[in-house]
A and B are shown apart, each in its own frame.
Chain A
Amino acid sequence: MTALLEAIDLTVSFGDRAGWFRPGQQVQAVRAVSLALQPGEVLAVVGESGSGKTTLARALLGMVPIAGGTVRFDGCDTAAMTAAQTLAMRRVVQMVFQDPFGSLDPRLPVGAIIAEPLDIHRIGTKASRRERVAELLDLVGLSPDAAGRYPHQFSGGQRQRIAFARALAPGPRAIIADEPLSALDVSIQSQMLNLAAALRARLGLAYLIISHDLAAVHHVADRVATMYLGRIVEVASVDALFSTPAHPYTAALLAAVPRIGTGKRVPGDALGGDIPSPLAPPPGCAFHPRCPAATSLCATEAPALRALRAGHDVACHHPLGAA
């Protein structure tokens, strides 16, 4: 099966030119990442802030320049695509952002916001677009009269539904969602999770979800990739990753998720330290300064991402449960 969207050895770096008083610096936000989103699949990317997960999503969509490697869409190298092909790709891969207050134009009525992708991609006639907007509003659980109102008249959850409707407008095959829940109230998050699941079942959508909410990821994802300092350190099916994490970083993240009904925390088992600066990544495995299982090998040699078993890849010299 051809992957819908695929990164091969993808590297993204940000840099500034040397100034008068300082040398130029290059930061590799994404380092040699290979990851594929299959049609109809829900793939989640998790990791702490600064791990490069948002940059990876943006690079897949061509929103940031690529320093190395390739991005393939439906098997075609996106760097070699014509403008028309790029536009076609952007029609079928849509994005939903974290903040529904910042991502909707406050001066446009909701109907115009949702119809905008239809205008851009010249889909349908004026009348058919109006019909499509009503259909989309219904699909995301809003009433048709919402089309005439403005974003500020809606709550955060309703705005995220509007953002969803806009993403669905041109009939995408995949939606890339960057922290789609974190700005929403707790009781609204479950409504959105159910909506995303219902839309997937109905439209056969693939999702690439960027999230730090591991419980939500566990609920929706088929596969999960853990990122640390720009690299993928583990990829596995959601069940394998949550029940038998192989990378100590994944295990530490899972252990840190506060859960209900387990009683008060006993201080002492938190993962120490912060994610290091990507300006000065540690030598060897980037996680070794915080890793409870680190050895001298980890400090000198970066582990490659390799298959631990079928469908479970890990980049660790001493994967958990391997011995």
Chain B
Amino acid sequence: MKLGPAHDRVEVIAGLDISLSAGRTLGVVGESGCGKSMTALAIMGLAPKPHAIGGELRFAGQDLRAMPDDARRQLRGAEMAMIFQEPMTALNPVVPVGVQIGEMLIVHEGASDADAARAAVALLERVGIADPARRARASPHELSGGMRQRVMIAMAIACKPRLLIADEPTTALDVSVQAQILDLLLELQRDTGMAMIFISHNLGVVSAVADDIMVMYAGRAVETGPAQLVLTAPAHPYTAGLIATLPDIGHRQKILPVIEGSPVNPRNRPPGCAFAPRCKLVIPDCRAAVPPMVALGPSQRAACIRVAA
């Protein structure tokens, strides 16, 4: 995917292959600017314009890119839904939350106002909000951050989507509330069998919810595989570096290992492997060509010529 006007396009995502089946969670990990949110927006059909998207995008066998805007809009919200980091900017500040949840059912399922209102209260109860009938009449600003995130989840699951994309849904929350929201998402997934794409920079959070992981760097996937395998036996030097740099409770080190430098912006992506300038294992060949994704076993893949060799 490229973003920006035709004369000044930046390739923000390059050559990404993702496949996700029902009931599974894919954790997408990376630092700011790595393209993880853009990937989500591209799947949702919400990428900022002007843009150019190449390749294929299929949802339950349908080609999303060939779909007219109307059909895509129907799909969005009903079949695939998304929740964001900061619910305050995603919710309408002057409309009671119950009305905002009910709106989903009126728009997508043709529910009557009364049915929608009743369903909104039930959904609020489902996402663990106490006293749902009263909270349905509240405006977003009257709720705590955790409750606002619950409201956004209620909106997202109102039409029982088959895919839920969660973009840093707990980053703005305290650890205790974060645990509550993660539990809620896991329970909802267990009950509905929806697939989830869970985007976060926090490896611990991803570890708590993901079945599979994709690590992104500068718009490309650098490693994919089963979550626990990738997190305990990382193959790509970037993944290994990220995990090593995290301070861990119970294992105190005098000096933390670091990845030198800062994450690279896709606009200034160096030739060859984008991570080469920060990599401890770099050899001249790394800068020659973009390393392809190579299988390292039945399920783990990494884009690094040093580990494949």
Interface residues of A (CB under 8 A from B): 48-49, 155-158, 185-191, 193-194, 197, 212, 214-216, 218-219, 242, 252-265, 267-272, 274-275
Which of under 10, 10 to 19, 20 to 34, or 35 or more describes the interface residues of B? 35 or more
Q: Is A218 a contact partner of B245 (Cβ separation < 8 A)?
A: no
Q: Is B228 a contact partner of A259 (Cβ separation < 8 A)?
A: no
Chain B min CB distance to A217 (Å): 9
Q: Is B208 a contact partner of A186 (Cβ separation < 8 A)?
A: no
Q: Is A260 a contact partner of B203 (Cβ separation < 8 A)?
A: yes
Contact with A along B18-54 (1 / 0, CB 8 A): 0000000000000110000000000000000000000
Q: Is B247 a contact partner of A193 (Cβ separation < 8 A)?
A: yes
Alpha-carbon separation in the docked complex, A271 to B183 (Å): 11
Q: Is A185 a contact partner of B182 (Cβ separation < 8 A)?
A: no
CB-based A-B contact count at 8 angstroms: 145
Inside 8 A of A49's CB, which chain B residues have their CB?
145, 174
Given contacts A187-B258, A259-B249, are A265 and B204 in contact (CB under 8 A)? no
Q: Is A218 a contact partner of B247 (Cβ separation < 8 A)?
A: yes
Inside 8 A of B208's CB, which chain A residues have their CB?
258, 262, 264-265
Given contacts A185-B262, A260-B204, are A265 and B209 in contact (CB under 8 A)? yes
Q: Is A191 a contact partner of B258 (Cβ separation < 8 A)?
A: yes
* Other A-B pairs beyond A193-B256, A271-B180, 4, CB < 8 Å: A157-B262, A259-B207, A264-B227, A265-B182
Partner of B249, one of A257, A270, A275: A257
Q: Is A215 a contact partner of B207 (Cβ separation < 8 A)?
A: no
Inside 8 A of B203's CB, which chain A residues have their CB?
186, 260
Partner of B231, one of A158, A212, A261: A261
Interface residues of B (CB under 8 A from A): 31-32, 144-147, 174-180, 182-184, 186-187, 190, 201-205, 207-211, 227-228, 231-232, 241-243, 245-250, 252-260, 262-263
Chain A min CB distance to B175 (Å): 4
Partner of A218, one of B31, B228, B241, B252: B252
The closest CB in chain B to the CB of A249 belongs to B176
The closest CB in chain A to the CB of B180 belongs to A270
Chain A min CB distance to B33 (Å): 9
The closest CB in chain A to the CB of B188 belongs to A267
Chain A min CB distance to B32 (Å): 6
Q: Is B249 a contact partner of A272 (Cβ separation < 8 A)?
A: no
Alpha-carbon separation in the docked complex, A68 to B146 (Å): 32
Inside 8 A of B263's CB, which chain A residues have their CB?
185, 187
Q: Is A258 a contact partner of B205 (Cβ separation < 8 A)?
A: yes
Inside 8 A of A212's CB, which chain B residues have their CB?
174-175
